[in-house]
Amino acid sequence: MKSKLFVARTSYLLAGLAGAALVISACSEPAPPPPPPPPPTPTAQAKVDWYKQCWDHFNNKAWDQFQNCYTDNAVSESVDSTPPSVTGRTAIIDRGKMEAGAFPDRRGEVRLMLVNGDHMASVALYTGTNTGEMPGPDGKPMKPTGKAIGLLFGHVVDLDSTGTKATRDAGYIEEGTMMAQLGLSKAPARAAEKASGAAPVIVIAKNDATESANMAGNRAGFDAFNKHDLKAMEAYTADNYKLVEIGQAKDLNKKEALASMKDMFSGFPDVALTTPTMWAAGDYVVTEGTLTGTNTGDLKAMGVKKTGKKVSARFLQICRYENGKVAEEWLFYNGAAFAAQLGLK
């Protein structure tokens, strides 16, 4: 009996020692390595370099490299054009190849580049020669015209959390100007510009008092527009003001721009602007928004009788401030789409 009891106690003791040995062995194993640290946030200058590189890939038709400028599910907008947007790298590259087919030598020359955190905007000159077929308004291919284009193009980019890929980009191009430069429209338009080869102006946000003041001035300017207050708009505009409105055949000075606004208010008594996106970089303020209104009055400057039609047009505005007033403004929208909404050809 004592022998059995001894054996049982010995078995329990050995089992306990074995368990303890397992615990000690587990505790003595090295801890798993810590997860790798997140990649460092890219500097603003790194984002500038990335943007330039992506334009190089686009210009050189380096599609394998260009697709990596976007996230897998990025949205690329061609504002108020057809199709208005495409989603995903494959669709983005397919659209780029189609454009390159119509304009094999097309290129973008960036003239102004603005950066604030994960937001970027630029003014670029888009040039090329139409030596290939392109889709017409009815979707059917159009024969090449052999003519050259050179028009300003507004571009905005929203970056992902790594600051190395675009989650969204939007291009604002005036199709009426392009059609006129191709000889397919007789409407007044800007003559085709040629690339200058000059380096772009680059401005990186400081998030300082000057930028805050410029933002406040910009909001006040939009408020004055929505109130149709020409005197207030004049007060926010510098005497040397220049408006580069891509839908106009030439740049406008302060007097001409105010006259154009007066004509707009007469033709669209309910015209209003909504501005969900606004940010600053140095002396510049970038705004994306939408203009809406009903054409119940004649547009005398355009020689257009009232149509009674409603319009909704997206726009990109980039303003440069001097001493608290707007000295230079770039305004991008698709005037051809605007005219189509009015029933104009």
Residue 150 has pLDDT above 60, yes or no: yes
Q: Does domain 209-341 have CATH number 1.10.10.10?
A: no
Peptide bond into 141 cis (omega under 30): no
Find the helix or strand (DSSP H, E) in which 171 lies.
strand 166-172
Residue 20: pLDDT band (50, 70, 90) is very low
Return the CATH fold of 44-204.
Answer: Nuclear Transport Factor 2; Chain: A, (3.10.450)
Within 10 angstroms of residue 328's Cβ, the number of other Cβ atoms is 18
Domains 44-204 and 209-341 share a fold: yes
Where exactly are the structural domains of the chain?
44-204, 209-341
56/65 Cα distance (integer angstroms) = 10
Residue 345: pLDDT band (50, 70, 90) is confident
**What rounded mean pLDDT belongs to the chain?**
91
User: What would the pLDDT profile of 205-218 be if each residue is shown by its tens digit?
Assistant: 999 999 999 999 99
User: What would the pLDDT profile of 302-315 be if each residue is shown by its tens digit?
Assistant: 888 999 999 999 99
User: What is residue 182's predicted lDDT score, i.e. its pLDDT?
Assistant: 97
- Judged by phi (left if over 0) then psi (alpha if -120 to 50, else beta), residue 228 lies in left
**pTM higher than 0.85, yes or no?**
yes
246/240 Cα distance (integer angstroms) = 19
Distances 115 to 153, 281, 293 between C-alpha atoms, Å: 17, 6, 32
Find the helix or strand (DSSP H, E) in which 114 lies.
strand 107-116
179/191 Cα distance (integer angstroms) = 11
Ramachandran angles phi, psi of 224, nearest 5°: -65, -40
Residue 39: pLDDT band (50, 70, 90) is low
User: What would the pLDDT profile of 174-192 be if each residue is shown by its tens digit?
Assistant: 999 999 999 999 999 999 9
